[in-house]
Amino acid sequence: MLIAVLYSYNGDAATMDAERPAHRAYLDSHPGLRLSGPTAAGGAVIIIEADSAPALEQWLDDDPFWKAGVISQRTVTPWNPVMGTWREQLGV
* Tens-place pLDDT, residues 9-27: 999 999 999 999 999 999 9
- According to DSSP, residue 79 is labeled -
Q: Return the CATH number of the domain spanning residue range 2-80.
A: 3.30.70.1060
Supply the mean pLDDT for the chain. 95
Of the candidates 21, 77, 86, which has an alpha carbon nearest to the alpha carbon of residue 54? 77
* Identity of the residue numbered 80: N
Mean pLDDT computed over 58-76: 98
pLDDT in the model for residue 38: 96
For 74, phi then psi, to 5°, come to -135, 130
Please tell me the pTM assigned to this model.
Answer: 0.90
Evaluate if residue 90 carries a pLDDT over 80: no
Give the 3-state secondary structure of 24-54.
HHHHHCCCCEEEEEEECCCEEEEEEECCCHH
Of the pLDDT bands very low, low, confident and very high (cuts 50, 70, 90), residue 84 is confident
